[in-house]
Amino acid sequence: MTKSDTPVYRLEDYKPTDYAISHTELDFSLHPTETIVKSKLSLSPRKNTKPGTPLVLVGDELKLLSVAINGHELASKDYSATPEKLEIHTPPSGNFIVQITTQINPKKNRQLMGLYLSNGVYCTQNEPQGFRRITYFYDRPDILSVFKTRIEADEKNEPVLLSNGNLLETGKLENGRHYAIWEDPHPKPCYLFALVGGALDHYDDSFTTMSGRKVKLGIYVEKGKRERAAYAMDSLKRAMRWDEEKFGREYDLDIFNIVAVSDFNMGAMENKGLNIFNDKYVLANPDTATDFDYAGIERVIAHEYFHNWTGDRITCRDWFQLCLKEGLTVYRDQEFSSDQRSRPVHRISDVRVLKIAQFPEDAGPLAHPVRPRQYREINNFYTTTVYEKGAEVVRMVHTMLGDELFRKGMDLYFQRHDGEACTIEDFIACFADVSGRDFSQFMLWYEQAGTPTVTVDSHYKDGVLTLDLTQTVPDTPGQSDKKPMVIPLSFGLLGKNGKDMPYQADNHIENNVIVLSEAKQTVHIRDLKEKPVLSLLRGFSAPINLKMEESDDDLAFRAHFDTDEVNRWESLNKLMGKALVNAIADRSNEKPAMPEKLQTLIEALLDDDTLEPAFRSLCLQLPSEIELARMIGHDVDPDRIYNVRQSFMKSLADHLKQKMLHVFDKMKTEGHYSPKAEPAGKRALKNTILGYLALAEATPLRAFEAYKKADNMTDRMGGLSVLVHLFNETNEAKEALSDFEKRYGNDPLVMDKWFSVQATVHGEKTLDHVKELMKHPLFSLDNPNRTRALIASFAASNQTGFNRVDGEGYKLLADIILTVDKENPQLAARLSTFTRSWKQLEPKRQSKLKEQLERILKAPKLSVDVSDIVSRTLG
Ligand code: B3K
Ligand code: ZN
């Protein structure tokens, strides 16, 4: 379908189907270009369906070979078929069986949706609408069916044949073929169907559930990579245990398999009992993966596993409800990682992601509610708003209800809706029911887009602190005049001694949370023995912009003493942000230094051995260029932002050099590598300092030394990125890059780091280098990981390189979007989102980028995916 004839789908148009499909039997005969799929569907009419109502199923690029009802092949007058649709004009009344045979071409499938070949391995991706590329079906999440699957394939090329559920039977056939039959007893929507066939190694283990059942666990990887699955397996077992302990959720099949493939559009997929993963989120050993990679594996493995209950057992009624499973499951994986690692450090990292990715989305032309009400292409709504803001909304429910009631609400949700396809209303009703609270106004979090701003005016007099709170929600595309939201503001009051002060609360306050619900509201806090310093929005309790008139001294005081570490970091970050934005605006000073007071404050934090190294490392990081651009909001000059930020860092490095050297030495981790939070935190601080020391010493030697001596990938990349980012032209940088290429040149996944680090060298020269790197034998626009490593890194994380004032960066991205769009529209659409903040750029760059967006939109045969993103971006 092309852009002009695509419909807009609307939430209010939801209607159940005319028929239900209770059972689905599938039979695959795998072949690279001519796979035959036979389906046998058990259909029954709904209560209100009139006898003879046509059966209309969807397809996508399908070739129909035959169709039969109750065992009788249909004559051509009885049905009509196109690659996109199969209609049986007059089905019999009552229950009936439909048998459909289609032919598909996995090798040609470079959209990576449906059944495709990834490096010789057959695999599927069906969420949200891939199943229609396999056979005609009701491809929508509210059709729950019991699946039984027979797979037949070549025994030598595809010795491993997997599908959902439990293995019933295997056997040999003639001509070197063999088969396997799988059955999944849990009714599920077709987007959770999965199939894998290939020559794979496996890493086996088992898990005994809380009721004593033994589950077989397997992680399947490409040949030769078996030992790299150990950490993923360890993470899986920890996640299974955690879900039992924290949410009472037990695994429900005898087998749980994970397969890692190298061509995958996103991170991973939660197919029932057979998760399929981008190998980036499975494969790790100390020599190939950084601490960040390990944490990512732990998070994604857990996320997909947690979907077994929040997504698979209870799924979404329609795709508008996507956040029902995604927001909730992100919340659950965030909690898991917080329990496995340091809670405040983890929360700070999540808040940073929210501010760097979600806040700009919410402030730009692609802003949409956590539950969108309309879409042209659902794939474009797998966004940070649905995922991360969706998780924040669940977190707010938890903040307002507390541990116990929140758990009761979750228990009720699992009990009431197990085996159903639900809506957000169903979910929230569970919390309303267990707490007796009215959540109707809270639902606005799912309806209204845009990051609310809360402004606080505070006055202290005679033991009473008065807070005048005002909230506004900005206009966003298609939405204006918004209503006030329910905003939980966790808070504390700090006394002069730096300790939390007791107080007497008035009735808006419960458990140290002010729940704001009106546009303007006044809150009194009484019985204070002295004027307190207010610490508001502790733990970042709501996804808002907080505007509080606060002196730099109060901010610095909180950075020192706040008992909430998230707010400690937040106040330091605010101080840094303020100073940077001021310095960026003052064009009279080309190389401004960080204000001395701020340097002293950071020094004290760096010096404080009682603080976790990971936290100290976060405190050394200045707000990112993207955050600064968002704070400035208009006429953004990325070069200026970069230069001022670097110059601040250089002044801090000069000031703290001795102290940094001292801490650097103390952060050495000895002995066997462990990816656990504590040693990883030490490495994080050490490598952050390495960057500063390079600025102070103005020589590549220390980083080169670090690179050469590294005995794990975190330290190797620590050295390499400093060399490449700060001393790009030196022999040391060149030598390290070529050494890296020699070591890992036959491991594309590891080489992604090599591509990324070079794509993110600041400045205008990088563009040509990126073009050169695109010719590298390992690079291919056909593989999403490679494209993300080089192109997405360049466009999303290289503000000066991509935003070259001559517009050549934009032109390159536009060219690539148009090329990729021909094969993989989903990936092309993702690349298009990197242009979303174009309106905040200074006029020259703005017009160059606009030109490219318009060029993309005019291209013939543009996909709906890209056309949707680009036309919304242009506004
Ligand atoms: N549910 C999948 C995402 C599917 C994306 C399709 N474009 C992975 C996840 O969020 O767990
Ligand atoms: Zn998910």
Specify the CATH number for the domain of residue 493.
Answer: 2.60.40.1840
Q: Which residue's CA is the closest to the ligand 1 atom numbered 8?
A: 269
Q: What is the mean pLDDT of residues 618-641?
A: 97
Give the atom of ligand 1 at the shortest distance from the alpha carbon of 300: 11
CA 49/CA 542 separation, integer angstroms = 46
Answer yes or no: do 22 and 99 share one domain. yes
Give, for 441, the enclosing helix (H) or strand (E): none
Query: What's the average model confidence in pLDDT over 137-145?
Result: 98
According to the model, what pLDDT value does residue 509 have?
A: 84
* pTM, rounded to two decimals: 0.98
Whether residue 499 is predicted with pLDDT greater than 60 in this model: the reply is: yes
Map tokens 């050549």 to a residue: 808
| Nearest alpha carbon, ligand 1 atom 9 | 269
564: pLDDT strictly greater than 80: yes
- Cβ(266) – ligand 1 distance below 6 Å: yes
Looking at residue 2, its pLDDT comes to 47
Q: Ligand 1 centre from 739 Cα, in Å? A: 36
Cβ of 382 closer than 6 Å to ligand 1, yes or no, is yes
139 lines ligand 1 (CB under 6 A): no
Ligand 1 atom with the smallest distance to the CA of 826 is: 7
Q: What is the distance between the alpha carbons of residues 186 and 274, in angstroms, rounded to a whole number?
A: 13
| Ligand 1, pocket-test mutation among 266, 332, 379, most atoms within 8 A of CB | 266
Q: Residue 470 belongs to what domain range?
A: 453-549
- Above 80 in pLDDT, residue 69? yes
Answer yes or no: is 516 within a domain: yes
**CA–CA distance, 447 with 389 (Å, rounded to integer):** 12
| HSE (side-chain half, CA atoms, 13 Å) at 448 | 21
Rounded Cα–Cα distance for residues 627 and 584 (Å): 13
Q: Are residues 332 and 441 in the same domain?
A: yes
Judge if 405 and 487 occupy the same domain. no
DSSP 67: E
Is the minimum distance from the CB of 111 to ligand 1 under 6 angstroms? Answer: no
- Same domain for 65 and 169? yes
Q: What angle do CA 158, 162, 164 make, to 5 degrees?
A: 160
Residue nearest to atom 1 of ligand 1 (CA): 269
Could you read off the pLDDT of 283-315 as tens digits, one per residue?
999 999 999 999 999 999 999 999 999 999 999
Q: Does 671 score more than 90 pLDDT?
A: no
Q: Answer whether residue 506 shows pLDDT above 80.
A: no
Ligand 1: residue whose CA is nearest its atom 3: 269
Q: What's the CATH number where 420 sits? A: 1.10.390.10
437 lies in the same domain as 479: no
Whether 363 and 505 map to the same domain: the answer is: no
Confidence at residue 6, expressed as pLDDT on a 0 to 100 scale = 82
- Number of domains observed in the structure of the chain: 4
Structure tokens at 498: 């730096």
Q: How many Å apart are CA 297 and CA 233, to the nearest integer?
A: 10
* pLDDT band with cut points at 50, 70 and 90 for residue 5: low
One domain, residues 94 and 178? yes
The pLDDT, as a whole number, for residue 268 is: 98
Alpha-carbon torsion (798, 803, 806, 809), positive or negative: positive
Residue 785's pLDDT is 98
- Cβ burial 216-244 (10 Å sphere, 16+ → b, else e): ebbbbbbeebbebbebbbebbbbbbebbe
> Read out DSSP for 606-625?
HH-TTS-HHHHHHHTPPPPH
Q: What is the pLDDT of residues 177-216, one digit of tens each?
A: 999 999 999 999 999 999 999 999 999 999 999 999 999 9
Determine whether the shortest distance from the Cβ of 384 to ligand 1 is under 6 A. no
Residue 682 included in any domain: no
In a domain, 863, yes or no: yes
Q: Is residue 764 part of a domain?
A: yes
Structure tokens at 451: 């990051």
Is 88 in the same domain as 154?
yes
Distance from residue 194's CA to the centre of ligand 1 (Å): 13
CA of 277 to the centre of ligand 2 (A): 12
CA of 838 to the centre of ligand 1 (A): 27
Mean pLDDT of the chain: 97
Q: Estimate to the nearest angstrom the gap between the alpha carbon of 847 and the chain centroid.
A: 31
Phi, psi of 618 (to 5 degrees): -65, -35
> What is the 114 CA–ligand 2 centroid distance (Å)?
18
Q: Report the CATH number that the domain containing residue 832 is assigned in CATH.
A: 1.25.50.10
Chain-centroid distance of CA 257 in Å reads 22
Q: Could you tell me what percent of the chain has a pLDDT over 70?
A: 99
Task: Give the pLDDT confidence of 221-268 residue by residue, as tens digits.
Answer: 999 999 999 999 999 999 999 999 999 999 999 999 999 999 999 999
Kindly tell me the burial class for residue 8, based on how many C-beta atoms sit within 10 Å of its own C-beta (0-12, 13-18, 19 or more).
Answer: exposed
Q: Which of 116, 139, 269 to mutate to test the pocket of ligand 1 (most atoms within 8 A of CB)?
A: 269
The active-site residue out of 304, 377, 388, 392 is: 304
Start-end of H helices in 184-268: 230-247
- The two structure tokens encoding residue 523: 């809150």
Q: How far is CA 23 from CA 101, 145, 236, 603, in A?
A: 16, 5, 30, 65
Domain boundary among 199, 225, 260: 199
Whether 1 shows a pLDDT value over 50: the answer reads no
What pLDDT is attached to residue 4? 54
Tell whether the model's pLDDT for residue 36 goes beyond 70: yes
Domain assignment present for residue 250? The answer is no
Atom of ligand 1 minimally distant from the CA of 304: 11
Do both 460 and 336 map to the same domain? no
Q: What are phi and psi of 217, to 5 degrees?
A: -110, 135
Query: Could you tell me if residue 733 is inside a domain?
Result: no
Q: Which ligand is nearest to the CA of 267?
A: 1
Is residue 624 exposed (0-12), middle (13-18) or buried (19+ Cβ within 10 Å)? middle
Which ligand 1 atom is at minimum distance from the Cα of 265?
7
Nearest to 711 by CA among 742, 671, 678, 752: 671
Answer yes or no: is the C-beta of 326 below 6 A from any ligand 1 atom.
Answer: yes
Of 395, 424, 447, which one is at a domain's C-terminal end? 447
Ligand number, closest to the Cα atom of 332: 2
21 and 167 co-located in one domain: yes
Radius of gyration, CA atoms only, the chain: 28
User: 620 lies in a domain?
Assistant: no
- Closest-CA residue, ligand 1 atom 6, reads 127
Which atom of ligand 1 is found nearest the CA of 128?
A: 6
pLDDT category, 490, cuts 50, 70, 90?
very high
Task: Give the tens place of pLDDT for each residue, 321-332.
Answer: 999 999 999 999
Query: Is position 565 annotated as part of the catalytic site?
Result: no
Reported as type and span, the H/E element at residue 811 is: helix 808-823
Q: Are strands 72-73 and 63-69 parallel, antiparallel or unpaired?
A: antiparallel
- 361 shares its domain with 324: yes
409-426 per-position pLDDT tens digit: 999 999 999 999 999 999
For a mutational test of ligand 1's pocket, the pick from 133, 326, 387, i.e. the residue with the most ligand atoms closer than 8 A to its C-beta, is 326
487-494: strand order across its sheet: 509-510, 513-516, 487-494, 533-536
- Select from 152, 169, 199 the last residue of a domain: 199
| Residue 457 and residue 430 share a domain | no
Residue 768 covered by a domain: yes
- pLDDT, one tens digit per residue, over 428-487 is 999 999 999 999 999 999 999 999 999 999 999 999 999 999 999 999 999 999 999 999
Q: Is 316 in the pocket of ligand 1 (CB under 6 A)?
A: no
Write the DSSP string, 621-664: PPPPHHHHHHHH-SSB-HHHHHHHHHHHHHHHHHHHHHHHHHHH
CA 659 to each of CA 604, 664, 682: distance values in angstroms, whole numbers, following the listed order: 10, 8, 16
Q: Residue 270 Cα, ligand 1 centroid: separation in angstroms?
A: 8
